[in-house]
Amino acid sequence: METRAHHVLIGLFTVIVVAAALLFGLWLAKSSTDRQFAEYQVVFNEAVSGLSQGSAVQYNGIKVGDVNQLKLDPQDPRRVLARIRVGADTPIKQDTRAKLALTGVTGMAVIQLSGGSPGSPALTSPEGGLPVIVADPSPLSKLLSNGEDVMTNINDVVSRASQLMSEENVARIGRTLDHLDKATGAVADQRDDIRALLSQLAQASKQANATLAQTEQLARSANGLVDQQGRATLESARNAMASLERSTAAIDRLLNDNRAALNGGMQGLGELGPAVRELRDAANSLRGITRKFDDNPAGFLLGRDRSKEFEP
């Protein structure tokens, strides 16, 4: 009996030692795992279609961890809480951003981390819980949430394209292309005539430019003639008028001074009368010349009459 009791005690002691060793090994393994990884909580304010537990976590395209847990926020079911585990050496900063993204080849949804300036402090939780990263709105989520509308629009476009490419429209397009081919062929056959027409148009344009240049030169010459000779002629006419006025004034004084003698001698009056009339005729002619010059200086100098305006 005593021998059996000793064997039982020895066996029980052995079992206890082995169990303690296993627990110690598990504790060491857990401690090592805790030292190699860090956990964070990513908050999504949108649907995370395609994301599941075990999905990859990438930082600038490099896998740094995976998703441990996905659940709805008990306080707000519209939010999704994703618990991620990344390498302890991953530099998660306070300005690190997160969003839902698709991998390039497989098309699986992943959590993409980005940002994190060197001067920003490390992300920690002041309350002792998991550090929180609020995810940015993802274009992928909008696309997946509106996928039904997109497919409806695509189906509508395909339906309209099918209606557009009906047999009747295809026949019309064929006839239009045939007419276009005939039109281009006709133009190709007349290319020599078209080339000649373009050459004539170019020559006519050159002649028109030359005519405009000559007209401009003629206008400048006429302006110069009017400005130079016209001014000189007008000044001469003004001097003549002044001289005539002085002569008229002198004759008037002479007549006034010799009025008694003129009244006494009819012979002297008869001789002076024709001279006065001739002088008055000359004054009238000079006034007419001055009036014509004022009305049309260029026509008077160039010998052309002003065209009469039609009066209804």
Per-residue pLDDT tens over the stretch 201-231: 888 888 888 888 888 887 777 666 656 666 6
Question: Are 61 and 118 part of one and the same domain?
Answer: yes
152 falls within a domain: no
Question: Are 95 and 179 part of one and the same domain?
Answer: no
Is the full-model pTM beyond 0.85? no
**By the 8 A CB rule, do 121 and 65 touch?**
no
Question: Which residues are paired to 85 by β-bridges?
Answer: 39, 66
Per-residue model confidence as pLDDT tens digits over 260-302: 665 655 555 555 566 667 677 767 777 777 776 666 665 665 5
Domain range spanning residue 128?
A: 33-139
**By the 8 A CB rule, do 57 and 35 touch?**
no
Q: Count the neighbouring beta carbons within 10 Å of the beta carbon of residue 107.
A: 8
pLDDT of residue 81: 93
Residue 52 has φ and ψ, to the nearest 5°, of -145, 170
303 falls within a domain: no
Q: How far is CA 91 from each of CA 73, 104, 112, 120, rounded to the nearest angstrom?
A: 26, 24, 14, 10
pLDDT of residue 70: 92
CA–CA separation, 130 vs 39, rounded Å? 7
With a cut of 50, list the residues of the chain below it in pLDDT: 32, 306-312
Question: Are 124 and 184 part of one and the same domain?
Answer: no
Question: Are 179 and 111 part of one and the same domain?
Answer: no
Question: Are 257 and 184 part of one and the same domain?
Answer: yes
Q: Count the neighbouring beta carbons within 10 Å of the beta carbon of residue 6.
A: 10
Per-residue model confidence as pLDDT tens digits over 241-257: 777 777 777 777 777 77
Which tokens in the block code for residue 39?
A: 């956990």
Angle subtended at Cα 266 by Cα 261 and Cα 269, rounded to the nearest 5 degrees? 75
3 state SS of 20: helix
